[in-house]
Chain A
Amino acid sequence: MKYLAALAGLAGFILLPHFIGEYYVEIMILFMINLILASSFRLITTVGDWSLSHIVFMGVGAYTTALLAKYLGWPFWGTVLIGGMASAAVGLAVVFPLLRTKGFGFFIGSFALGEFIRLIWVKFHFPFGGPRGMIGIPSIELGDIDFYEATPYYYLVFIFTVLCQVVLYRIDLSRTGRVLKAIYADEDLSKCIGINVARYRAMAFSVSAFFAGIAGVLLAHRLGAIDPKNFDVNTMVYLVIWVVVGGVGTFWGPIIGVAIMMVIGEAARPLAEWRPLLFGGILIVFLTLLPGGLENLILRFKEMLEKLRSAGESQPAE
């Protein structure tokens, strides 16, 4: 049943571009890139760390591929993994001092270090292009396929999204994923049964940065131009809103969050500059009234249904 639903979902994604306009294909491309971003962000939160620099690692991937493509003429197929690995490496360097901090300290510390990286892009006109960023990032080519068109790019991003989500899902279910959750639940106990907490926190951060980097590579080649503003704290706050709305307790929370918030974002386009107010309001509503996000709401709803059902079954037969 589950496999059938998954197959139907995949088939839906494959057929989708033939039924919607080009504008919506572009939206779907962004949606899938955001999925990679949000799901990888969740990986850090499972160990109990909330980072405010995740978007910067998307930037590291984006700048890496832009540099390699523009200055060295490397094709996307060569840079995509390098972008991810560069991001993972920078992530490791960033998380190292952060391991001394926890909770709010980690949150603010990650913001400071992320901003440090972002300011490097702003300050160095060579090679990063300064505040204006880098333009003319070449599109992707493979034989006769021109990925400048929306639909081929859609399929390319689709394949990467599925790969990334599968790997993140496998990690979540693996012993390693459970170790991360164990550390979150009781760090002292985890240490005393032999878990190297610092190592696992660093690993989660770095792996998460890897996937953010991949998302960045995909974004850079779609937009053709990137600048430091793409990866600033404003954008990061949107990512935080997605995962707060969706919840991080299960793998599906951030996915639900991105989907719902992007639909709301599109629907609220007429609000123009008032949109941030709406998003801020949503964030406050979820933080105060629905901690745990939509996934929690769904879980509670399911529990309620099951209780009702079992109550119905336990009624004595007439």
Chain B
Amino acid sequence: MAILEVRNLSKRFGGLMAVQGLVLDVEEGEIRGVIGPNGAGKTTFFNVVSGVYKATSGTITFDGTRTSNLSPDKIAALGVVRTFQRVALFPNFTVLENVNMGRHLHARESLFAAVFGGQRQKESENLQKSRDIVDFLGMAAHRDELASNLPYGLQRTLNVAIALATEPRLLMLDEPVAGMNPTETQEMTRIIRRIRDELGITVMLVEHDMRTVMNLCDKITVIDFGEKLAEGLPHEIQSNKEVIEAYLGAEDIVA
């Protein structure tokens, strides 16, 4: 059974159907790529799955629980956590504090405990887990640096670290290598693969960098004008006529 089931999902903004009748299954443990030309509705699709937008119609089911139209924090609590296209972090916190904020779902501090400090044990466990994640992503040297002082590539890595700290079962990455140089891109690709291989987390990503997508993904879904255009293994997508047509003039798909 698929861990994420999307059925006839539509999202309308006024007269614009950003996502239209989308059907999609993501299997547990796979790395799924979602691609499509600019404005195809990929990010809207992410926003609906993560609860930032409400679906106009259709359903999303995660591991048997219907998540469509739940609030983002409830969806995160169920194990579906996303990152953003932009750098999204807490600039005035250190790297470790940022990651530890991602432990929110595992902290659940009451107001009483906040004042009287009754959760020291739990908090030190959370800090240890946060440190492990920082180490796992190779950021140990920057642990106590302010997030705002990090170079761009590491800020994007920190975005992933914050998401990982929530202990997601499905990690959704919105253009994880956008704006990165080739070295940073390689590093991020390696990280994403390790997240799946070593942590067993299912990954779904939106990405424009075709080399990364083809390298990384087990299966790819192509969206155009809000509708599913094609779905299949990377080499199938690369040779799909419709896909190539949709991309013609925009990008070279055979990277």
8 Å CB interface, B151-173 against A: 162-163, 165-166
Partner of B109, one of A175, A185, A188: A175
Q: Is the CB of A174 within 8 A of B117?
A: yes
Q: Kindly state the separation between the CA atoms of A170 and B114 in the bound complex, as whole angstroms.
A: 7
B71, B91, B93, B114 — most chain A CB neighbours (10 Å): B114
Chain A positions within 8 Å of B51 at CB level: 191
A179-B104, A191-B71 given; A174·B92 CB < 8 A: no
Asked whether any CB of chain A lies closer than 8 Å to the CB of B73, the reply is: yes
8 Å CB interface, B12-54 against A: 50-52
Asked whether any CB of chain B lies closer than 8 Å to the CB of A260, the reply is: no
Partner of B162, one of A179, A189, A196: A189
Which chain A residue has the least Cβ–Cβ distance from B110?
A176
Q: Is the CB of A177 within 8 A of B101?
A: no
Which chain A residue has the least Cβ–Cβ distance from B116?
A170
For chain B, the count of residues having a C-beta within 8 Å of the partner chain is 36
8 Å CB interface, B98-149 against A: 101-102, 104-105, 107, 109, 111, 113-117, 119, 123
Asked whether any CB of chain A lies closer than 8 Å to the CB of B72, the reply is: yes
Which chain A residue has the least Cβ–Cβ distance from B108?
A175
Asked whether any CB of chain B lies closer than 8 Å to the CB of A302, the reply is: no
Chain B positions within 8 Å of A42 at CB level: none
8 Å CB interface, A122-157 against B: none
Q: Is the CB of B166 within 8 A of A193?
A: yes
Asked whether any CB of chain B lies closer than 8 Å to the CB of A182, the reply is: yes
Q: Is the CB of B89 within 8 A of A194?
A: no
B-contact 0/1 string along A88-130, CB 8 Å cutoff: 0000000000000000000000000000000000000000000
Asked whether any CB of chain A lies closer than 8 Å to the CB of B219, the reply is: no
Q: Kindly state the separation between the CA atoms of A197 and B50 in the bound complex, as whole angstroms.
A: 15
Q: Is the CB of A185 within 8 A of B104?
A: no
Partner of A175, one of B50, B88, B89, B123: B123
Asked whether any CB of chain A lies closer than 8 Å to the CB of B224, the reply is: no
Chain A positions within 8 Å of B107 at CB level: 175
19 contacts between A and B (CB under 8 A): A170-B114, A174-B109, A176-B109, A176-B111, A177-B114, A178-B101, A182-B101, A189-B84, A189-B90, A189-B162, A192-B72, A192-B81, A192-B84, A193-B81, A193-B102, A193-B104, A193-B163, A194-B77, A194-B166
A residues in contact (CB < 8 Å) with B = 167, 170-171, 174-179, 181-182, 185-186, 188-189, 191-197, 203, 207
- Ranked nearest first, the 9 interchain pairs of A and B with the lowest CB-CB distance are A174-B114, A194-B76, A191-B72, A176-B114, A194-B105, A189-B88, A185-B90, A175-B109, A170-B115
